[in-house]
Amino acid sequence: MGEHSLSSEQKLALVVSNSAKAQAGADTLRKSHDWVSPEEADILVVLGGDGFLLHVLHEMLDRDTLKPCYGLNLGTVGFLMNHPHGHQVIGQRVKEAHPVPVSPLRMDAVDRSGVEFSYYAINEVSMLRETRQTAKLEVRINGRVRMEELAGDGILVATPVGSTAYNLSANGPILPLGSRMLALTPISPFRPRRWKGAILPESAEVEFRIREPEKRPVAAVADQKEVREVQSVRIRAATEKELTILFDPGYTLEERIFAEQFQV
C-alpha cells in the first residue's frame, strides 16, 4: 500500500450529510480550514456515517471523478470512517492519513423485458427473492457452470470492504484488504443445504441465471441500486474504477477488518 502525502497545493472540500449531528460538527470545522468546492478539491472530507460516505463514493463513480475521501464519523456505524475527535487540525490529519484502494464491483443485469442495467457496488451485489417462492439460480464462474441450481433466499458477491457488512451477517467470510478476493455467499440456502459459499479471485467473472423467473422472481441489488425481475446478472471487479479511502495511522480499515475476526 503506497504512502499518501498532502502537499500545500492540495485542496480540501467539506461534504456534509443532512443529519443534525453532522451539520453541528461541520459548523466547527468550517472555521478551522480554508475549504474549496468539491469540484475544485483534490480530497473530500466527508462528515456523516458509512451510508453517506458510500453515497459520496457512488456519486463520484457515476460522474467518473474519482478523488480520495477522508471520512469523519458523525453518523451511526462509521466502519469506513475516522474518529471525529483529535488534537490535530484537519489538514494535518488528512496529510498523515494512509490510503486504502477499493475496487468496486460492476453489475450488468438484464430484466425479463430484455432491458439492460449497469450499476457499481462498493460493498456487495445481492440476488434476492421477491416473493415467498424460493429463488432458484444457476451459478457460473468465468463462463463455466459451477452450480446448476442453488435454491434459497438468494446469494451475494462481496468485496473485502463489504465482507464485514451483509456478507458477514449471512455467515460469509471476512476478507482481508489487499487479498484481491471476492466472497460468494449464499443467503439461507435450502439446496444444497450444506453449501457455505466460495472465495474467488478478484479476476473472476460471476454470472447468475434465474430459473423459472416468472414463478420465482429475483431482484438484483448493487449496494442501494435495485433491478427487479432479472433474468441474468453478470458481476466483475471494476479495477479500472479504483477508489481511495483515507484512514488515520493506527486506525486503518485493514486493522478493523482484522479485529472483526476476533469479535465474540
Going by pLDDT thresholds of 50, 70 and 90, the confidence category of residue 264 is low
Q: Are strands 43-48 and 12-16 parallel, antiparallel or unpaired?
A: parallel
CATH 2.30.40.10 for domain 105-239, yes or no, is: no
The pLDDT score that the predictor gives to residue 251 is: 65
The pLDDT score that the predictor gives to residue 1 is: 39
Q: What is the pLDDT of residues 41-74, one digit of tens each?
A: 999 999 999 999 999 999 999 999 999 999 999 8
| Helix, coil or strand: residue 50 | helix
The answer to whether residue 27 is catalytic is: no
User: 111-115, 176-180, 239-243 — which is least confidently predicted?
Assistant: 176-180
Q: Is 124 annotated as a binding residue?
A: yes
Q: Which cell numbers hold the place of 60?
A: 463520484
Going by pLDDT thresholds of 50, 70 and 90, the confidence category of residue 257 is confident
Going by pLDDT thresholds of 50, 70 and 90, the confidence category of residue 4 is very low
Q: Is 223 annotated as a binding residue?
A: no
The pLDDT score that the predictor gives to residue 78 is: 74
Q: Is 153 annotated as a binding residue?
A: yes
Going by pLDDT thresholds of 50, 70 and 90, the confidence category of residue 84 is confident
Going by pLDDT thresholds of 50, 70 and 90, the confidence category of residue 87 is low
For the chain, percent of residues with pLDDT exceeding 70: 92
The pLDDT score that the predictor gives to residue 2 is: 41
Domain boundaries, the chain: 12-103+242-260, 105-239
Q: Is 185 annotated as a binding residue?
A: no
Identified catalytic residue from 27, 34, 42, 50? 50
Superfamily of domain 12-103+242-260: Probable inorganic polyphosphate/atp-NAD kinase; domain 1 (3.40.50.10330)
Three-state secondary structure along 157-221? EECCHHHHCHHHHCCCCCCCCCCCEEEEEEEEEEECCCCCCEEEECCCCEEEEECCCCCCCEEEE
Q: What is the distance between the alpha carbons of residues 191 and 188, in angstroms, rounded to a whole number?
A: 9
Q: Is 167 annotated as a binding residue?
A: yes
